[in-house]
Amino acid sequence: MRIAIGADHAGYRLKDEIVPFIQSLGHEIEDVGCNCDQSVDYPDYALPVADLVASGKADRGILICGTGIGMSIAANKVKGIRCALVHDMFSAKATREHNDTNVLAMGERVIGPGVAQEIIRIWLDTPFSNGERHVGRVNKVMQIEAKFADA
């Protein structure tokens, strides 16, 4: 799988720690930055990751900032993106099974590398449960997106 990854200044250390882990699982990484602790704007890194996923140039995306909140908000503005903010293993599995999320957001100031690795492993390994109720719900979300896309 091709994974796009990005972080702001508050998340780049965790990003740099998890990239080798993701590669060890056999995935290819497209790292859009940032690679410093100087203050940057999280939308500048959320957008390239979301664009890569929405365009199909990446299969999934991972975003990291201090809390993951800003990154998830910014990514979810891109048509076709279903980004979930996750800080625990149960949510990592549920968001793939129930919501077919294609972007994962996490906060470096909230979780450490060990928890992040387990969340990522679960999120990457868990398929969407193509059950009728979940497909219908995801389709409703996509209809909302379509309704307001040109507003």
Residue 68, annotated ligand binder?
yes
Q: Which of 65, 83, 87, 134 is catalytic?
A: 65
Residue 134, annotated ligand binder?
no
Q: Which of 27, 87, 98, 134 is catalytic?
A: 98
What are the tokens at 144? 């909302």
The Cα–Cα gap between 123 and 79 comes to: 21
Residue 9, annotated ligand binder?
yes
Residue 99, annotated ligand binder?
yes
Concerning whether 65 is annotated as a catalytic residue, the answer is yes
Mode of pairing for the β-strands spanning 103-107 and 2-7: unpaired
Residue 22, annotated ligand binder?
no
Which of these, 87, 136, 130, 88, lies nearest to 107 by C-alpha position? 87
Concerning whether 98 is annotated as a catalytic residue, the answer is yes
Cα end-to-end distance, the chain, whole Å: 34
Residue 139, annotated ligand binder?
no
Q: Is the peptide bond before 34 cis (omega within 30 degrees of 0)?
A: yes
| Cβ atoms within 10 Å, residue 43 | 16
Q: What is the CA radius of gyration of the chain?
A: 14
Residue 109, annotated ligand binder?
yes
Residue 11, annotated ligand binder?
no
Residue 131, annotated ligand binder?
no
Q: Which residues are annotated as a binding site?
A: 8-9, 66-70, 99, 109, 133, 137
- Enumerate the active-site residues: 65, 98
Q: Which residues are annotated as a binding site for D-ribulose 5-phosphate?
A: 8-9, 66-70, 99, 109, 133, 137
